[in-house]
Structure 1
Amino acid sequence: MALILSLETATSVCSVALHDKGSLVALLELHQENVHSQKLMLLVEDIFQKTGLKSSDLAAVSVSSGPGSYTGLRIGVSIAKGLAFAHDIPLIGVETLEALAFQAKHNLVKGEHVVPMMDARRMEVYMAVYNSDFIQEEPIQPKIIETNPFLEYLNRGRVFFLGDGLTKLKEVLNHPNAVFLKNLNSATSVGELAYLKFENKEFVDIAYFEPNYLKDFRVIASKKNPLLL
Structure 2
Amino acid sequence: MRIGVSTAKALAVVDNIPIVGVSSLEGLAYKIKKDDGIICSLIDANNHQVYCGIFDNNYNLVNEYIADDIDNVSTVLEKFSNITFVGDGAYNYLNKTDCISTFLASQIGLFGYEKYLNGIHEYADTITPLYLRVSQAERMRQQNDSNS
> Which of the five TM-score ranges fits, normalised by the shorter chain?
0.7 to 0.9
Query: Which has the larger strand fraction?
Result: 1
- In structure 2, do the counterparts of structure 1 residues 123 and 165 end up closer, same or farther at CA, with 3 Å as the change threshold? same
Deviation of the 1:169 alpha carbon: 1.8
The within-5 A match list for 1:1-229 is 73-104=1-32, 106=33, 108-110=34-36, 112-146=37-71, 149=74, 150-153=77-80, 156-157=81-82, 159-170=83-94, 180-219=98-137, 220=140
Deviation above 4 Å: which 4+ runs of structure 1? none
Q: Secondary structure at the match of 1:94?
A: coil
Identity %: 25
Query: Which has the larger helix fraction?
Result: 2
Conserved 8 A contact 1:145-1:168: no
Deviation of the 1:94 alpha carbon: 1.5
Conserved 8 A contact 2:91-2:99: no
The structure whose Rg is larger is 1
Stretch deviating more after TM superposition (139-148 or 88-97): 139-148
Conserved 8 A contact 1:118-1:164: yes
Higher RCO by CA contacts (8 Å cutoff, separation 6 or greater): 2
- Give per-residue Cα distances to partners, 1:139-184, cap 9 Å, x unaligned: 211131129923443xx43x221123234323xx5xxxx6732342
What is the RMSD of the two structures over their aligned residues, measured on CA atoms?
2.9
Conserved 8 A contact 1:113-1:160: yes
- In structure 2, do the counterparts of structure 1 residues 207 and 164 end up closer, same or farther at CA, with 3 Å as the change threshold? same
Unaligned 5+ runs, structure 2: none
Deviation of the 1:210 alpha carbon: 1.7
What is the TM-score with the length of structure 1 in the denominator?
A: 0.51
- In structure 2, do the counterparts of structure 1 residues 129 and 148 end up closer, same or farther at CA, with 3 Å as the change threshold? closer
